[in-house]
Structure 1
Amino acid sequence: MRSDIRVMSRRDLLRATIAAAGALALAGCTDLRGGEGSAELEGGDPREGAIAVSSVKPLCIDPFNAVDEAGAQICFQLFDPLMRYDYEYGVLTCLAAESYTASEDQREFTFTIREAYFHNGEAVRAQDFKRGWERIANPSSAAAGVLGASNVSFLLSLVEGYQDLREGRASGLSGITCPDDRTLVVRLSSAYADFPYVCAHHCLVPVPDDADADAEAFSRMPVGNGPYKMTEAWDGQSAQIELSRFLDYAGTVTTIDTVRFTFYDSVGDAYRAYEAGDATLAPCPIESVDANAASWKSSDDERLRITSGRRCVLGVSPVVSYLVCNTSVAPLDDVRFRRAISLAIDRDGISKRVYRDARMPADGIVAPVVPGYREGAWPYCVHDNDAAEELLDELYPTGAGGARDVTLTITYGEDSGQRNAMEQIAESLSAVGIACELEELPFEDLYVRYRSGSFMLGRYDWSCDFASMDNVLYPLFHSASLSAYNFSRYANEQVDTCINEARSTGSEGERTSRLQEAEDIVAQDCPVIPYLFGSYAYVGNQRIEQLHIDADGFAHLGEAELAD
């Protein structure tokens, strides 16, 4: 038995919302086409139908490896994956897919591809998705020969035949078949009900034959199926990339004719270009952000949109900063001690004093933008020195001067900009009698130490690869991840069972409930100590009438509107 899931497209979602509310006016709801000529850009004051974006320089714009912030932003404009998670509405929507079905055992997914075209005029077929995914998974692909190993191949690790392809025993992914041009069938090696969420990743996109025929040329001028296309190849050194709207786009054709990205050495330099009037849109550094614009402080429906009345977007990203507790060594092998540490940390103080109130204090390991988040889910993620001291008194009674006979070492990465935050944490722990030493290491050494267990408390950031609780709980707390990112060495059979059962559960509500059960157990055990959620900030000038910036930091330029 199969479940037939026809997910509402973003266009349909917006249309339905307009019908219900009668007041929303979002680009993408109607087909508003502007003039077809290319508009010239002049600094930060583009002519009609054009926009200038300042950015850091991308490392790669090919979806094979477009994982740096700037490269991913450009890739997002050029390509449409099968699915998209809509952070505004909190739902998974179809994009390049028209619909999909899932087998009862959650191991096989069949996607119906909607009619669409590449920027070169070729029709997008199911085989093009298979090609795009296999070039990522195959370490011997033509793209790998040009760009090196892909950093997103792990996204396909559950597809049948993945290991055979990685180890050279096969030339393709046996789990991906294409019965016809519009049908893509993906068979997994084990149940994973959240696989459609994986398919929303901006790198899991279709590519035409040319991607393999001339991988080097494609890496400089990717040919996609998204709302914008490149006007000319990028040599990797030029300070600009220009995109033009794709008139044969399968979705609603954008009203913005041209987007020009200009690259700078840093986010600060990109922001200064915006301040100087040389850009319409720019990322905003923490020292310049308006903390009053924080999305978590507002209930405004447009808090994640740059509009005529809102020039700064400051939102929560699917990232959490936390301390890893090495639960295999004393004193962190005692749950009471871990709880005390968590209670002692002044998260609000860190946000205010280190980040100018531009990062949201964490109340759990799952970020608010990830489906399944619950406010206050972790009871020990509150600042309560009295409760912390009560726990500590049972373990390490205070001596002369209020000190306790216990010292912790907090390890973190050098050049990570985290020293001030670590000093604040050390100060919080000192206030309850725990002495702390700070240890700064190169990231390569840090990772080796975490993997080997040669640390006490270690700072780490976890960023979701796609919008799923499983993408947080499984890698950080499942016993199968002990050799990977479960640095805390946490193992709990009940947690494993809940996560495993969730992976094979088709019902979204029931699946979320099982994952929340697992999270509740972890929250009591405190193998990690979350302290801040990630954030992102963008500013836009008066040229922008409305522009959505989602939680991944992607600017939805294909749906944007410019002021008259």
Structure 2
Amino acid sequence: MFSSDEHNTRRGSFRATIVIAAAAALTLSGCSVANSEADTAASGQALRLVLPMEPTTLEPCDSSLASTGVVVRSNITEPLIERDPTSGELHPLLATSWEATGDTEWTFTLREGVSFQDGTPFDADAAAFAINRAVNGDLSCDVEGQIFGDADLVVEAVDSLTLKVSTPDPDPVLPLRLSFIEIGAPTDAEAKVREPIGTGPYAVASWDAGLKITLQRNEDYWGDAPAYQRAEYQWRSEGTVRAAMVTGNEADIAMGLSADDGAGELGIDYPNNETVALRFSGDIAPLDDIRVRQAINFAIDKTGITQSLYAGKSEPASQIIPPGVVGYNDGLEPWEFNLQKAKELVAAAKADGVPVDQKITIVARSGQFPKIDQLTEVLQEQLKQIGLNAEAKVVETSTGLQYQVRPFILNEGAIAMVVQHGNQAGDASFSVDSYMTTDGQMSMFGTEAFDEVLSQASAQTGEERQQAFADAFAYERNEVVQFAYIARMTGVLAKGAGVAYEPNSATGDELRLAAVSPAN
């Protein structure tokens, strides 16, 4: 059982006190920002942030999408439990304690005296509604596919501050899973919301589509008041422009940069946990032949990509999760770059009648991470070098999600999609459930045998769990080949000269505004 008699102090002792220099409101014109409110900075009136893209939604149940989560998570809405991204420990938030009260049952005690930003009381009924809506409903929430899969939960409000959650099978990491469900005020269970109402330190003040999103401090927040009266998000697709906005004192924090975007001394590297890979539609020719999938792995010059495109700030990847996540297999090495082997595999497949000349479309979501457009072009050329008919297709986010998340676009032949997956939970199950099972929300194919391997691993605990998932990743590499792993990424952001902020592995998915404050 985890319990806490904390108080009204938010985030517990693990959050460091972080300071940020004064900021001003953004007023953009073209690709520049008029610094018309610079005098608001010292008073902590506005924090200015610039993102790579405009969020497609602020719906809480889609906050596992990075472009949504970086605005919503722990800012507008909050979960029952939060995970410290550095230590991996779980801490109380809207729930103050939890314990397993049966093989498949967990009981949560909720925080008293909390209200949503519209004045509605937060209680067990509200928590149950949010969980049911996200996991058991028909909204196709991203958090359902990414974190929970097809398993429905039984959620019961025992009384106003007691919540019971039951799972079909024993789930030793259910509290961790629930840390990904952001609790919004009870609303339409049949439709997603544009501007959510939560319990967080900030509320949505306005969303001017195509221009900016403004959050206003929630003066009735249950915990410690955040430093800034408001936060203003804008977006620019070019990393060099985002970096220049910070170096020119037109923004305070710029997200999603690469090492050579020009932030200079204001650029900060941080260890994110994102893995970039090609995900195969392995039941569509010619990708339905394992030799073709193996050939692609040999054909990708991962060292060249990480050194040239990312200036050595990333490194070749060997599996879908990074070190530090339960299940990481430290015995796996990245596939070697070997064009001769790749060509031989393609030739062998062709000799057996595999239509290797059929088109393989390499799909990427524009702006998903730095230099994704250039990476996609490089991958196209490297596949062509081994005799495959590859075509690059970079699309905007809403279209890209139709290739990435079920129901997939399936009428365009073989797809090798550029994906970036970050495991914020610290456990392999959160990667394999959505990306590797045959019916995973983001999996285009698998095998029944591999499903059983993954199912058995998910039921384990402790060292047995670590070893079972490590073995599963070795099995995937040798027997299935669902991916061509490319790089483990390093995050880069820019912060103004007067800003003190320490990004962590979760920063790219949830930049917590309550962790920043004026320097003076």
TM-score normalised over the length of structure 1: 0.70
1:59–1:68 CA contact under 8 A, matched in 2: no
Partner residue of 1:102? Answer: 100
Q: Which amino acid aligns with 1:473?
A: V
Alignment of structure 1 residues 13-412 onto 2, 5 Å: 14=14, 26-27=16-17, 42-43=37-38, 46-50=41-45, 51-55=47-51, 56-66=53-63, 69-76=66-73, 77-102=75-100, 105=103, 107-118=104-115, 119-120=117-118, 123-136=121-134, 150-154=141-145, 160=152, 175-201=154-180, 203-207=181-185, 211=187, 219-220=194-195, 222-230=196-204, 232-234=205-207, 239-244=212-217, 246=219, 248-250=221-223, 252-254=224-226, 256-264=227-235, 266=237, 268=239, 269-286=241-258, 288-289=260-261, 311-324=267-280, 326=282, 333-334=289-290, 338-368=293-323, 370-375=325-330, 377=332, 379-384=333-338, 392=345, 395=348, 409-412=359-362
2:170–2:459 CA contact under 8 A, matched in 1: yes
Partner residue of 1:439? Answer: 391
Cα distance in 2 for partners of 1:68, 1:397 equals 39
What SS does the corresponding residue of 1:48 show, helix, strand or coil?
Answer: coil
What SS does the corresponding residue of 2:457 show, helix, strand or coil?
Answer: helix
Cα distance in 2 for partners of 1:265, 1:393 equals 41
Deviations 1:402-450 (A, max 9, x none): xxx975743212774756434434554666xx21322245757967997
How far 1:120 sits from its partner (Å)? 5.0
1:548–1:556 CA contact under 8 A, matched in 2: no
Question: Does residue 1:475 correspond to 2:453, yes or no?
Answer: no
The structure in which a higher percent of residues are helix is: 1
- Structure 2: which 5+ runs fail to align? 26-36
Q: Which amino acid aligns with 2:298?
A: L
Partner residue of 2:444? Answer: 487
1:542–1:563 CA contact under 8 A, matched in 2: no
Partner residue of 2:509? Answer: 553
Greater RCO between the two (CA within 8 Å, min separation 6)? 2
2:346–2:387 CA contact under 8 A, matched in 1: no
1:194–1:503 CA contact under 8 A, matched in 2: no
Deviations 1:149-203 (A, max 9, x none): 755454566564x7xxxxxxxxxxxx111112221111223443333222122x5
How far 1:61 sits from its partner (Å)? 3.1
- Structure 1: which 5+ runs fail to align? 16-25, 163-174, 293-308, 399-404
Give the fraction of aligned pairs with identical amino acids, expressed as a percent: 18
Q: 1:410 to 1:291 in 2, by over 3 A?
A: farther
What SS does the corresponding residue of 2:14 show, helix, strand or coil?
Answer: helix
Cα distance in 1 for partners of 2:451, 2:469 equals 10
Cα distance in 1 for partners of 2:308, 2:340 equals 22
Q: Which amino acid aligns with 2:253?
A: L
Deviations 1:32-73 (A, max 9, x none): 9x9xxx998533871133432234544433425556655433
Deviations 1:122-153 (A, max 9, x none): 5531222112234446768xxx8xxxx75545
How far 1:530 sits from its partner (Å)? 1.0
Q: Which amino acid aligns with 1:197?
A: L
Q: 1:267 to 1:198 in 2, by over 3 A?
A: farther
Q: Which amino acid aligns with 2:44?
A: G
Cα distance in 1 for partners of 2:413, 2:85 equals 36
Greater displacement, 80-89 / 96-105:
96-105
Q: 1:515 to 1:206 in 2, by over 3 A?
A: same
2:81–2:91 CA contact under 8 A, matched in 1: yes
Cα distance in 1 for partners of 2:60, 2:173 equals 22
Cα distance in 1 for partners of 2:237, 2:510 equals 18
Q: 2:375 aligns with which of 421, 433, 451?
A: 421
Number of aligned residues: 482
Deviations 1:369-399 (A, max 9, x none): 644334453x35233557768x75994899x
Cα distance in 1 for partners of 2:389, 2:251 equals 44
Cα distance in 1 for partners of 2:320, 2:233 equals 36
Cα distance in 2 for partners of 1:240, 1:330 equals 44
RMSD: 4.4
1:314–1:358 CA contact under 8 A, matched in 2: no
